[in-house]
Chains A and B, each alone.
Chain A
Amino acid sequence: NAGVTQTPKFRVLKTGQSMTLLCAQDMNHEYMYWYRQDPGMGLRLIHYSVGEGTTAKGEVPDGYNVSRLKKQNFLLGLESAAPSQTSVYFCASSYGQRGETQYFGPGTRLLVL
């Protein structure tokens, strides 16, 4: 099993450009999450999904959109990238319920110039 995979691994964008980050999991997990990680700030939840076709806002959702058309995939979109969105983005998945282990992908490093 590959677990959680993320593409791309690294990307450079210019301000105003758009892009989509793809997360895929092969563990049949119901719940999926997108986080951003910035120095000294831990992981902050952007959006999450509790099942196919459903999404919800997390702690820092502004400037991002998501879609979960298939259970195994969770897409994160940036419609108009800003330098403040320079970060490392992690996708995670879990079976759900309270306190379940979250399994993380290797991350996507995004630089917005």
Chain B
Amino acid sequence: TQLLEQSPQFLSIQEGENLTVYCNSSSVFSSLQWYRQEPGEGPVLLVTVVTGGEVKKLKRLTFQFGDARKDSSLHITAAQPGDTGLYLCAGAPGSSNTGKLIFGQGTTLQVKP
């Protein structure tokens, strides 16, 4: 069974601080996605990374896919209260063509003004 371990599970920081969320596995994924979920809503896709070593930037968010395609990180620069939410990583198993995703446990981020 493929697993994605996400850390930390909870993060509370002050506005303006930087943070990094990690998503690790012993398995290879063909791609990895990051979703953000706000209370009472479903997850919404932030980014998909496909190539080992790939780095994508979305404003103050930087996403990286590990060279071996087993891990990923999300770095937020100068966090703002609007960044508060649940961040989920999700990997597409290399052997599957069903569109299934394996989700990490999630990281709850709280950014205090």
Q: List A residues at the B interface (Cβ < 8 Å).
A: 4, 31, 33, 35, 40-45, 48, 50, 56, 58, 90, 92, 94-102, 104-107
Whether B41 and A42, one on each chain, are in contact in the complex, defined by CB atoms closer than 8 angstroms, is no
- B interface secondary structure, majority: loop
Give Cα A85–Cα B32 distance, bound, in whole angstroms. 29
Q: B28-56 vs A: 1/0 string, CB under 8 Å?
A: 00110100000011111100101000000
Q: How far is the CB of B96 from chain A (nearest CB, A)?
A: 7
| B106 / chain A contacts, CB cutoff of 8 Å | 40, 42
Q: How many A-B residue pairs have CB under 8 A?
A: 71
B6 interface residue, CB < 8 Å from A?
Answer: yes
Whether B100 and A99, one on each chain, are in contact in the complex, defined by CB atoms closer than 8 angstroms, is no
| B101 / chain A contacts, CB cutoff of 8 Å | 45, 102
Please give 4 more A-B residue pairs, beta carbons under 8 A apart, in addition to A90-B42, A96-B99. Answer: A40-B106, A44-B103, A98-B92, A98-B97
